[in-house]
Chains A and B, each alone.
Chain A
Protein backbone atom coordinates (compact mmCIF):
# COMPACT_ATOMS: atom_id res chain seq x y z
CA UNK A 1 0.00 0.00 0.00
CA UNK A 2 0.97 3.61 -0.46
CA UNK A 3 1.78 6.28 2.06
CA UNK A 4 3.04 9.82 2.19
CA UNK A 5 5.17 11.24 4.98
CA UNK A 6 4.98 14.99 5.52
CA UNK A 7 8.54 16.12 6.18
CA UNK A 8 8.85 19.58 4.63
CA UNK A 9 8.21 21.76 7.69
CA UNK A 10 10.82 24.00 9.27
CA UNK A 11 9.99 22.81 12.79
CA UNK A 12 10.18 26.29 14.29
CA UNK A 13 8.61 25.20 17.58
CA UNK A 14 11.42 22.72 18.10
CA UNK A 15 14.28 25.17 17.76
CA UNK A 16 17.18 25.03 18.35
CA UNK A 17 17.10 21.29 17.57
CA UNK A 18 15.82 22.16 14.10
CA UNK A 19 18.76 24.50 13.50
CA UNK A 20 20.79 21.28 13.35
CA UNK A 21 18.41 18.76 11.75
CA UNK A 22 14.96 18.83 10.15
CA UNK A 23 12.27 17.73 12.56
CA UNK A 24 11.84 14.18 11.19
CA UNK A 25 15.60 13.63 11.70
CA UNK A 26 15.62 14.53 15.39
CA UNK A 27 17.40 11.55 16.91
CA UNK A 28 15.98 9.34 19.63
CA UNK A 29 19.11 7.68 20.99
CA UNK A 30 20.81 8.17 17.65
CA UNK A 31 17.91 7.13 15.42
CA UNK A 32 15.77 9.66 13.57
CA UNK A 33 12.11 9.88 14.57
CA UNK A 34 11.12 9.17 10.98
CA UNK A 35 12.96 5.85 11.00
CA UNK A 36 10.56 4.52 13.63
CA UNK A 37 7.68 5.74 11.52
CA UNK A 38 8.96 4.08 8.34
CA UNK A 39 9.37 0.81 10.25
CA UNK A 40 5.83 1.08 11.57
CA UNK A 41 4.40 1.81 8.12
CA UNK A 42 6.25 -1.17 6.73
CA UNK A 43 4.94 -3.46 9.47
CA UNK A 44 1.40 -2.62 8.29
CA UNK A 45 2.14 -3.22 4.63
CA UNK A 46 2.82 0.35 3.51
CA UNK A 47 5.82 -0.32 1.34
CA UNK A 48 5.69 2.59 -1.15
CA UNK A 49 6.34 5.86 0.61
CA UNK A 50 6.61 9.32 -0.91
CA UNK A 51 8.15 11.96 1.34
CA UNK A 52 7.74 15.67 0.70
CA UNK A 53 10.89 17.52 1.69
CA UNK A 54 12.00 21.12 1.74
CA UNK A 55 13.71 22.35 4.91
CA UNK A 56 17.12 20.61 5.13
CA UNK A 57 15.86 18.15 2.53
CA UNK A 58 19.30 16.60 1.81
CA UNK A 59 19.57 15.31 5.39
CA UNK A 60 16.35 13.32 5.01
CA UNK A 61 17.05 12.17 1.47
CA UNK A 62 20.64 11.11 2.19
CA UNK A 63 19.55 9.07 5.16
CA UNK A 64 16.62 7.17 3.69
CA UNK A 65 17.74 7.14 0.05
CA UNK A 66 15.46 4.80 -1.91
CA UNK A 67 14.23 3.06 1.24
CA UNK A 68 15.94 -0.23 0.38
CA UNK A 69 17.79 -0.36 3.70
CA UNK A 70 14.45 0.00 5.51
CA UNK A 71 12.62 -2.63 3.50
CA UNK A 72 10.42 -0.18 1.61
CA UNK A 73 10.46 1.86 -1.59
CA UNK A 74 10.86 5.57 -1.01
CA UNK A 75 10.93 8.65 -3.22
CA UNK A 76 10.87 12.37 -2.54
CA UNK A 77 8.81 15.31 -3.64
CA UNK A 78 11.25 18.16 -3.17
CA UNK A 79 9.39 21.41 -2.70
CA UNK A 80 11.81 23.95 -4.07
CA UNK A 81 14.14 24.93 -6.85
CA UNK A 82 17.83 25.69 -7.14
CA UNK A 83 18.60 29.04 -8.73
CA UNK A 84 21.52 30.00 -10.97
CA UNK A 85 23.35 31.26 -7.88
CA UNK A 86 23.12 27.78 -6.37
CA UNK A 87 20.73 28.95 -3.71
CA UNK A 88 17.78 26.77 -2.81
CA UNK A 89 14.49 28.54 -3.10
CA UNK A 90 11.96 26.59 -1.09
CA UNK A 91 8.38 26.75 -2.22
CA UNK A 92 5.62 25.99 0.21
CA UNK A 93 2.66 24.11 -1.11
CA UNK A 94 1.07 23.38 2.25
CA UNK A 95 0.47 19.81 3.38
CA UNK A 96 -2.51 19.16 1.10
CA UNK A 97 -0.83 21.06 -1.73
CA UNK A 98 2.16 18.74 -1.31
CA UNK A 99 -0.15 15.74 -1.76
CA UNK A 100 -1.71 17.34 -4.83
CA UNK A 101 1.73 17.90 -6.32
CA UNK A 102 2.60 14.21 -6.01
CA UNK A 103 -0.75 13.19 -7.48
CA UNK A 104 -0.43 15.56 -10.42
CA UNK A 105 3.09 14.33 -11.07
CA UNK A 106 2.27 10.65 -11.62
CA UNK A 107 -1.18 9.81 -10.28
CA UNK A 108 0.66 7.97 -7.53
CA UNK A 109 -2.32 7.62 -5.20
CA UNK A 110 -4.58 5.10 -6.93
CA UNK A 111 -6.14 3.42 -3.89
CA UNK A 112 -6.67 4.03 -0.18
CA UNK A 113 -3.54 5.71 1.15
CA UNK A 114 -2.11 7.05 4.37
CA UNK A 115 -0.65 10.50 5.04
CA UNK A 116 1.29 10.98 8.21
CA UNK A 117 3.48 13.64 9.84
CA UNK A 118 7.14 12.67 9.84
CA UNK A 119 7.87 13.60 13.41
CA UNK A 120 5.67 11.53 15.74
CA UNK A 121 6.22 8.10 17.22
CA UNK A 122 3.13 5.95 16.95
CA UNK A 123 2.10 2.36 17.44
CA UNK A 124 -1.42 2.76 16.11
CA UNK A 125 -2.98 -0.24 14.35
CA UNK A 126 -2.99 1.15 10.82
CA UNK A 127 -4.41 -2.06 9.36
CA UNK A 128 -7.48 -1.77 11.57
CA UNK A 129 -7.75 1.96 10.87
CA UNK A 130 -7.82 1.37 7.10
CA UNK A 131 -10.45 -1.36 7.55
CA UNK A 132 -12.67 0.99 9.58
CA UNK A 133 -12.17 3.80 7.10
CA UNK A 134 -13.31 1.56 4.26
CA UNK A 135 -16.21 0.11 6.23
CA UNK A 136 -17.49 3.63 6.93
CA UNK A 137 -17.28 4.54 3.24
CA UNK A 138 -15.12 7.54 4.10
CA UNK A 139 -13.07 9.50 1.60
CA UNK A 140 -11.08 10.96 4.48
CA UNK A 141 -10.47 9.75 8.02
CA UNK A 142 -8.22 10.96 10.74
CA UNK A 143 -7.04 9.20 13.84
CA UNK A 144 -7.88 11.16 16.95
CA UNK A 145 -6.99 10.88 20.57
CA UNK A 146 -8.18 12.64 23.72
CA UNK A 147 -5.89 15.39 25.03
CA UNK A 148 -6.09 17.39 28.28
CA UNK A 149 -8.43 20.38 28.06
CA UNK A 150 -5.63 22.93 28.60
CA UNK A 151 -3.68 21.46 25.67
CA UNK A 152 -6.37 21.82 23.00
CA UNK A 153 -4.81 25.00 21.61
CA UNK A 154 -1.89 22.92 20.27
CA UNK A 155 -4.11 20.68 18.16
CA UNK A 156 -6.82 20.40 15.58
CA UNK A 157 -9.98 19.55 17.52
CA UNK A 158 -12.83 17.48 16.06
CA UNK A 159 -16.44 16.97 17.06
CA UNK A 160 -17.96 13.67 15.92
CA UNK A 161 -21.41 12.11 15.91
CA UNK A 162 -22.26 8.63 17.25
CA UNK A 163 -20.93 7.04 14.04
CA UNK A 164 -17.63 8.86 14.12
CA UNK A 165 -18.52 11.27 11.35
CA UNK A 166 -16.92 14.67 11.83
CA UNK A 167 -19.36 17.53 12.24
CA UNK A 168 -16.87 20.27 12.88
CA UNK A 169 -13.14 20.85 12.95
CA UNK A 170 -11.32 23.60 14.83
CA UNK A 171 -7.65 24.25 14.12
CA UNK A 172 -5.86 25.10 17.40
CA UNK A 173 -8.81 26.63 19.29
CA UNK A 174 -8.50 28.33 22.66
CA UNK A 175 -9.57 26.11 25.59
CA UNK A 176 -12.68 28.31 25.98
CA UNK A 177 -13.69 27.95 22.33
CA UNK A 178 -12.86 24.23 21.98
CA UNK A 179 -15.91 22.06 21.32
CA UNK A 180 -14.23 18.83 22.45
CA UNK A 181 -10.94 17.36 23.63
CA UNK A 182 -10.58 15.00 20.68
CA UNK A 183 -7.36 15.94 18.90
CA UNK A 184 -6.14 15.28 15.39
CA UNK A 185 -2.93 13.24 15.61
CA UNK A 186 -1.76 13.98 12.08
CA UNK A 187 -2.47 10.45 10.84
CA UNK A 188 -4.83 10.52 7.85
CA UNK A 189 -6.39 7.94 5.59
CA UNK A 190 -7.65 9.14 2.22
CA UNK A 191 -9.28 7.88 -0.93
CA UNK A 192 -7.99 9.37 -4.21
CA UNK A 193 -11.35 11.23 -4.50
CA UNK A 194 -10.06 13.60 -1.83
CA UNK A 195 -8.11 15.40 -4.56
CA UNK A 196 -11.41 16.79 -5.81
CA UNK A 197 -11.25 19.07 -2.77
CA UNK A 198 -7.64 20.22 -3.14
CA UNK A 199 -7.12 23.11 -5.57
CA UNK A 200 -4.16 23.32 -7.93
CA UNK A 201 -1.61 26.09 -8.03
CA UNK A 202 -1.93 27.41 -4.54
CA UNK A 203 -0.78 26.49 -1.07
CA UNK A 204 -3.38 24.35 0.71
CA UNK A 205 -3.26 23.03 4.25
CA UNK A 206 -4.85 19.78 5.43
CA UNK A 207 -5.93 20.98 8.86
CA UNK A 208 -7.04 24.52 8.23
CA UNK A 209 -8.31 24.25 4.62
CA UNK A 210 -8.96 20.72 3.39
CA UNK A 211 -10.88 19.56 6.45
CA UNK A 212 -13.21 22.58 6.59
CA UNK A 213 -13.79 22.11 2.84
CA UNK A 214 -14.76 18.45 3.36
CA UNK A 215 -17.17 19.39 6.15
CA UNK A 216 -18.67 22.23 4.13
CA UNK A 217 -19.28 19.86 1.21
CA UNK A 218 -20.81 17.19 3.45
CA UNK A 219 -18.20 14.69 2.26
CA UNK A 220 -17.84 11.45 4.26
CA UNK A 221 -15.13 12.49 6.71
CA UNK A 222 -14.58 10.42 9.84
CA UNK A 223 -12.48 10.40 13.00
CA UNK A 224 -11.40 7.22 14.70
CA UNK A 225 -10.74 7.39 18.37
CA UNK A 226 -8.12 4.71 18.80
CA UNK A 227 -6.05 4.30 21.94
CA UNK A 228 -2.39 4.12 21.03
CA UNK A 229 0.98 5.38 22.12
CA UNK A 230 1.48 8.79 20.55
CA UNK A 231 4.79 10.48 21.24
CA UNK A 232 4.30 13.89 19.70
CA UNK A 233 7.36 16.14 19.58
CA UNK A 234 5.43 19.40 19.43
CA UNK A 235 7.96 21.48 21.34
CA UNK A 236 11.55 21.04 22.51
CA UNK A 237 10.63 19.87 26.04
CA UNK A 238 8.51 17.08 24.50
CA UNK A 239 11.68 15.71 22.95
CA UNK A 240 13.47 15.79 26.29
CA UNK A 241 10.70 13.95 28.11
CA UNK A 242 10.23 11.39 25.32
CA UNK A 243 13.92 10.50 25.47
CA UNK A 244 13.83 10.21 29.26
CA UNK A 245 10.85 7.84 28.96
CA UNK A 246 12.63 5.78 26.34
CA UNK A 247 15.72 5.48 28.55
CA UNK A 248 13.56 4.35 31.45
CA UNK A 249 12.01 1.69 29.21
CA UNK A 250 8.57 3.29 29.32
CA UNK A 251 7.97 3.55 25.57
CA UNK A 252 6.33 0.78 23.58
CA UNK A 253 7.30 2.25 20.20
CA UNK A 254 11.06 2.30 20.74
CA UNK A 255 13.69 0.40 22.64
CA UNK A 256 17.13 1.42 23.86
CA UNK A 257 19.58 0.35 21.15
CA UNK A 258 23.00 -1.18 21.66
CA UNK A 259 24.08 -3.89 24.04
CA UNK A 260 23.68 -3.79 27.80
CA UNK A 261 27.38 -3.96 28.59
CA UNK A 262 26.87 -3.58 32.32
CA UNK A 263 23.50 -3.49 34.10
CA UNK A 264 21.76 -0.25 33.22
CA UNK A 265 24.26 0.85 30.56
CA UNK A 266 23.55 0.23 26.89
CA UNK A 267 26.31 1.05 24.44
CA UNK A 268 27.23 0.83 20.81
CA UNK A 269 30.50 -0.63 19.62
CA UNK A 270 34.00 0.79 20.05
CA UNK A 271 33.08 2.51 23.31
CA UNK A 272 35.65 3.21 26.00
CA UNK A 273 34.49 3.14 29.61
CA UNK A 274 36.57 3.39 32.77
CA UNK A 275 37.24 0.06 34.41
CA UNK A 276 37.93 0.71 38.08
CA UNK A 277 35.06 0.04 40.51
CA UNK A 278 35.19 3.65 41.80
CA UNK A 279 34.89 5.06 38.30
CA UNK A 280 32.18 2.60 37.35
CA UNK A 281 30.21 3.60 40.43
CA UNK A 282 30.02 7.13 39.00
CA UNK A 283 27.97 5.81 36.08
CA UNK A 284 24.42 5.19 37.20
CA UNK A 285 21.93 3.92 34.62
CA UNK A 286 19.84 4.03 32.68
CA UNK A 287 22.50 5.32 30.33
CA UNK A 288 22.81 4.93 26.58
CA UNK A 289 26.19 5.56 24.95
CA UNK A 290 26.60 5.77 21.18
CA UNK A 291 29.45 4.09 19.32
CA UNK A 292 33.03 5.41 19.39
CA UNK A 293 32.43 7.45 22.53
CA UNK A 294 34.87 7.68 25.41
CA UNK A 295 33.83 8.18 29.02
CA UNK A 296 37.02 9.08 30.87
CA UNK A 297 37.79 7.90 34.42
CA UNK A 298 36.45 10.42 36.90
CA UNK A 299 33.39 11.41 34.88
CA UNK A 300 29.98 11.20 36.54
CA UNK A 301 26.85 10.26 34.59
CA UNK A 302 23.55 9.83 36.38
CA UNK A 303 20.71 8.47 34.30
CA UNK A 304 18.48 8.70 32.55
CA UNK A 305 21.18 9.98 30.24
CA UNK A 306 22.15 9.62 26.60
CA UNK A 307 25.62 10.33 25.22
CA UNK A 308 25.73 10.44 21.44
CA UNK A 309 28.23 8.72 19.18
CA UNK A 310 31.78 10.03 18.82
CA UNK A 311 31.64 12.03 22.06
CA UNK A 312 34.22 12.63 24.76
CA UNK A 313 33.20 12.96 28.39
CA UNK A 314 36.17 14.26 30.34
CA UNK A 315 37.24 13.47 33.91
CA UNK A 316 35.28 15.68 36.27
CA UNK A 317 32.29 16.16 33.98
CA UNK A 318 28.91 15.81 35.65
CA UNK A 319 25.99 14.75 33.47
CA UNK A 320 22.60 14.10 34.99
CA UNK A 321 19.21 13.45 33.32
CA UNK A 322 20.55 14.87 30.09
CA UNK A 323 20.78 14.19 26.37
CA UNK A 324 24.06 14.82 24.57
CA UNK A 325 24.08 14.60 20.78
CA UNK A 326 26.88 13.12 18.73
CA UNK A 327 30.44 14.48 18.58
CA UNK A 328 30.21 16.47 21.78
CA UNK A 329 33.10 17.09 24.11
CA UNK A 330 31.84 17.57 27.65
CA UNK A 331 34.69 19.14 29.57
CA UNK A 332 35.62 18.28 33.12
CA UNK A 333 34.29 21.69 34.12
CA UNK A 334 30.78 21.10 32.83
CA UNK A 335 27.65 20.32 34.74
CA UNK A 336 24.80 19.21 32.52
CA UNK A 337 21.65 18.74 34.55
CA UNK A 338 18.30 18.39 32.75
CA UNK A 339 19.94 19.55 29.52
CA UNK A 340 19.92 18.73 25.86
CA UNK A 341 23.24 19.43 24.17
CA UNK A 342 22.70 19.55 20.42
CA UNK A 343 25.63 20.87 18.45
CA UNK A 344 26.51 24.31 19.81
CA UNK A 345 23.31 24.62 21.82
CA UNK A 346 22.53 23.73 25.41
CA UNK A 347 18.78 23.60 26.02
CA UNK A 348 17.20 22.96 29.39
CA UNK A 349 14.32 20.53 29.77
CA UNK A 350 12.10 23.63 29.91
CA UNK A 351 13.42 24.94 26.60
CA UNK A 352 15.82 27.67 27.81
CA UNK A 353 18.62 27.85 25.24
CA UNK A 354 22.26 28.86 25.60
CA UNK A 355 24.17 29.13 22.33
CA UNK A 356 27.65 27.99 23.27
CA UNK A 357 29.44 30.08 20.63
CA UNK A 358 27.66 33.27 21.58
CA UNK A 359 28.19 32.65 25.30
CA UNK A 360 31.91 31.86 24.75
CA UNK A 361 31.42 28.56 26.57
CA UNK A 362 33.37 26.21 24.34
CA UNK A 363 35.56 25.44 27.33
CA UNK A 364 32.49 23.80 28.88
CA UNK A 365 30.92 22.03 25.91
CA UNK A 366 32.30 21.83 22.40
CA UNK A 367 32.61 19.80 19.24
CA UNK A 368 34.64 16.68 20.07
CA UNK A 369 36.47 16.98 16.73
CA UNK A 370 38.03 20.37 17.41
CA UNK A 371 41.81 20.08 17.03
CA UNK A 372 42.60 21.67 20.38
CA UNK A 373 40.25 21.96 23.36
CA UNK A 374 39.33 25.59 24.07
CA UNK A 375 40.51 27.02 27.38
CA UNK A 376 38.62 29.38 29.65
CA UNK A 377 40.09 32.88 29.34
CA UNK A 378 38.13 34.52 32.12
CA UNK A 379 39.35 32.75 35.23
CA UNK A 380 36.03 31.05 35.87
CA UNK A 381 37.27 27.46 35.67
CA UNK A 382 40.22 28.02 38.02
CA UNK A 383 38.06 29.91 40.48
CA UNK A 384 35.38 27.22 40.56
CA UNK A 385 38.04 24.53 40.95
CA UNK A 386 39.60 26.33 43.92
CA UNK A 387 36.30 26.86 45.65
CA UNK A 388 34.86 23.36 45.28
Chain B
Protein backbone atom coordinates (compact mmCIF):
# COMPACT_ATOMS: atom_id res chain seq x y z
CA UNK B 1 0.00 0.00 0.00
CA UNK B 2 1.29 3.43 -0.95
CA UNK B 3 1.48 5.89 1.94
CA UNK B 4 3.08 9.26 2.38
CA UNK B 5 4.36 10.05 5.87
CA UNK B 6 5.24 13.54 7.06
CA UNK B 7 6.84 13.72 10.50
CA UNK B 8 6.21 17.02 12.27
CA UNK B 9 7.36 17.76 15.82
CA UNK B 10 3.84 17.47 17.22
CA UNK B 11 2.10 15.12 14.79
CA UNK B 12 2.75 12.51 12.14
CA UNK B 13 0.64 13.00 9.04
CA UNK B 14 -0.10 9.80 7.14
CA UNK B 15 -1.64 10.12 3.71
CA UNK B 16 -2.83 6.94 1.99
CA UNK B 17 -2.14 7.34 -1.72
CA UNK B 18 -4.71 4.71 -2.69
CA UNK B 19 -8.18 5.67 -3.88
CA UNK B 20 -9.59 2.49 -2.34
CA UNK B 21 -8.83 1.35 1.18
CA UNK B 22 -10.51 -2.04 1.19
CA UNK B 23 -9.78 -5.62 2.25
CA UNK B 24 -6.90 -5.82 -0.25
CA UNK B 25 -4.88 -3.07 1.37
CA UNK B 26 -6.32 -2.90 4.90
CA UNK B 27 -3.76 -5.33 6.43
CA UNK B 28 -0.90 -3.28 4.99
CA UNK B 29 -2.60 -0.08 6.16
CA UNK B 30 -2.97 -1.54 9.65
CA UNK B 31 0.68 -2.58 9.74
CA UNK B 32 1.88 0.78 8.49
CA UNK B 33 -0.04 2.59 11.21
CA UNK B 34 1.22 0.14 13.84
CA UNK B 35 4.80 0.71 12.70
CA UNK B 36 4.53 4.49 13.15
CA UNK B 37 2.99 4.02 16.58
CA UNK B 38 5.66 1.52 17.65
CA UNK B 39 8.31 4.05 16.57
CA UNK B 40 7.00 6.18 19.42
CA UNK B 41 4.66 8.51 17.58
CA UNK B 42 1.56 9.15 19.64
CA UNK B 43 -0.27 11.83 17.67
CA UNK B 44 -1.36 10.66 14.23
CA UNK B 45 -3.30 12.51 11.58
CA UNK B 46 -4.59 10.36 8.74
CA UNK B 47 -5.20 12.52 5.69
CA UNK B 48 -7.97 10.87 3.64
CA UNK B 49 -8.03 13.34 0.75
CA UNK B 50 -7.09 10.70 -1.86
CA UNK B 51 -9.43 8.01 -0.56
CA UNK B 52 -12.67 7.68 -2.53
CA UNK B 53 -13.74 4.42 -0.95
CA UNK B 54 -13.15 2.76 2.41
CA UNK B 55 -14.80 -0.42 3.63
CA UNK B 56 -15.26 -1.99 7.06
CA UNK B 57 -11.76 -3.47 7.03
CA UNK B 58 -10.22 -0.08 6.26
CA UNK B 59 -12.16 1.50 9.10
CA UNK B 60 -11.08 -1.44 11.26
CA UNK B 61 -7.42 -0.55 10.57
CA UNK B 62 -8.06 2.95 11.95
CA UNK B 63 -9.77 1.51 15.01
CA UNK B 64 -6.92 -0.89 15.73
CA UNK B 65 -4.44 2.01 15.48
CA UNK B 66 -6.45 4.00 18.00
CA UNK B 67 -6.40 1.04 20.37
CA UNK B 68 -2.67 0.66 19.88
CA UNK B 69 -1.99 4.32 20.66
CA UNK B 70 -3.86 4.01 23.93
CA UNK B 71 -4.83 6.82 26.23
CA UNK B 72 -1.70 8.93 26.00
CA UNK B 73 -2.08 9.72 22.31
CA UNK B 74 -4.60 10.46 19.64
CA UNK B 75 -5.55 9.60 16.06
CA UNK B 76 -7.41 12.13 13.98
CA UNK B 77 -8.57 12.02 10.39
CA UNK B 78 -8.89 14.89 7.95
CA UNK B 79 -10.05 15.78 4.44
CA UNK B 80 -12.74 13.11 4.15
CA UNK B 81 -14.27 12.74 0.70
CA UNK B 82 -18.10 12.51 0.73
CA UNK B 83 -18.30 8.70 0.45
CA UNK B 84 -15.75 8.24 3.22
CA UNK B 85 -17.60 10.72 5.42
CA UNK B 86 -20.79 8.76 4.78
CA UNK B 87 -19.04 5.59 6.01
CA UNK B 88 -17.94 7.32 9.20
CA UNK B 89 -21.49 8.53 9.83
CA UNK B 90 -23.19 5.19 9.11
CA UNK B 91 -20.90 3.40 11.58
CA UNK B 92 -20.87 6.22 14.20
CA UNK B 93 -17.10 6.45 13.95
CA UNK B 94 -17.63 10.18 13.32
CA UNK B 95 -18.57 10.40 17.00
CA UNK B 96 -15.48 8.67 18.35
CA UNK B 97 -12.74 9.68 15.90
CA UNK B 98 -12.02 13.41 15.65
CA UNK B 99 -12.56 14.61 12.09
CA UNK B 100 -10.95 17.77 10.77
CA UNK B 101 -11.39 19.57 7.49
Q: Give chain A residues whose Cβ lies under 8 Å from the Cβ of B8.
A: none
Bound-state Cα–Cα, A339 to B83, Å: 13
B87 touches A354 (CB 8 A): yes
**Binary contact readout A344-388 vs B (1 if CB under 8 angstroms, 0 otherwise):** 001010101110001111011100000000001111110110011
Q: Please classify how large the interface on chain A is, using the bins under 10, 10 to 19, 20 to 34, 35 or more.
A: 20 to 34
Q: Give chain B residues whose Cβ lies under 8 Å from the Cβ of A380.
A: 56, 59-60, 63, 91, 93
Q: Give chain B residues whose Cβ lies under 8 Å from the Cβ of A359.
A: 53-56, 87
**Binary contact readout B16-49 vs A (1 if CB under 8 angstroms, 0 otherwise):** 0000000100000000000000000000000000
Q: Report which of B56, B64, B86, B95 forms a contact with A348, defined as CB distance below 8 A.
A: B86
B55 touches A387 (CB 8 A): no
Known interface pairs A335-B89, A346-B90, A388-B95; A352-B57 also in contact (CB < 8 Å) = no
In the assembled complex, the CB of B82 is this many whole angstroms from the nearest CB of chain A, namely 4
Interface of B, secondary structure class, is helix
A353 (CB) vs chain B CBs: closest residue: B83
A336 at the interface (CB under 8 A from B): yes
B66 at the interface (CB under 8 A from A): yes
Q: How many A-B residue pairs have CB under 8 A?
A: 77
A361 touches B90 (CB 8 A): yes
B90 touches A384 (CB 8 A): no
Bound-state Cα–Cα, A334 to B95, Å: 12
B91 touches A360 (CB 8 A): no
In the assembled complex, the CB of A335 is this many whole angstroms from the nearest CB of chain B, namely 5
Q: Give chain A residues whose Cβ lies under 8 Å from the Cβ of B87.
A: 354, 359, 361
In the assembled complex, the CB of B85 is this many whole angstroms from the nearest CB of chain A, namely 8
Which chain A residues have a beta carbon within 8 Å of chain B's beta carbons?
333-337, 339, 346, 348, 350, 352-354, 358-361, 363-365, 376-381, 383-384, 387-388
A to B CB contacts below 8 Å, 24 in the list: A337-B89, A352-B85, A354-B83, A354-B87, A359-B53, A359-B55, A360-B23, A360-B56, A361-B87, A361-B91, A364-B90, A365-B90, A376-B56, A378-B57, A378-B59, A379-B63, A380-B56, A380-B63, A380-B93, A383-B63, A383-B67, A384-B91, A384-B95, A388-B95
